Amino acid sequence: MRPEILLYILVMAAVTYLIRLLPLTLIRRRIESRFLRSFLYYVPYATLAAMTFPAILTATGSTVSAALGFAAALILAFSGRSLMTVAVCASVVVLVCELVMPVLPL
């Protein structure tokens, strides 16, 4: 392995470690700001959504079937269905769309 690659890995490890270590050492007391606490509460959900949404639209053969599967998943999730039900139904919607779309005269 080349030495510069090892240096890159060490720098990335140090930066990652510092990002996790500094908040633990600098913030010792409970955060009192309701705004900051609610902001920090929703950061993981926003990050997951930002990483997942583009993958949803590019995971299928067409953007239309991906959008319809995503819409089905949203409707089922907001109606309180289980994660397994949402995933299976969204996959079925995408499968049906992928099978039906080549047959449609567009």
pLDDT band at 45 (very low <50, low <70, confident <90, very high): confident
**Which letter, b or e, does each residue of 4-33 get, where b requires 16 or more Cβ atoms within 10 Å of its Cβ?**
eeeeeeeeeeeeeeeeeeeeeeeeeeeeee
Query: Which amino acid is located at 4 in the chain?
Result: E
Q: What percentage of residues in the chain have a pLDDT greater than 70?
A: 96
How far apart, in whole angstroms, are the C-alpha atoms of residue 49 and residue 58?
15
What is the structure's pLDDT at 62? 87
Judge whether residue 69 has pLDDT over 70.
Answer: yes
Cα 11 to the center of its chain, rounded Å: 26
Q: What is the pLDDT of residue 8?
A: 94
Residue listed under structure tokens 């993958």: 55
Q: What tokens were used for 103?
A: 């047959």
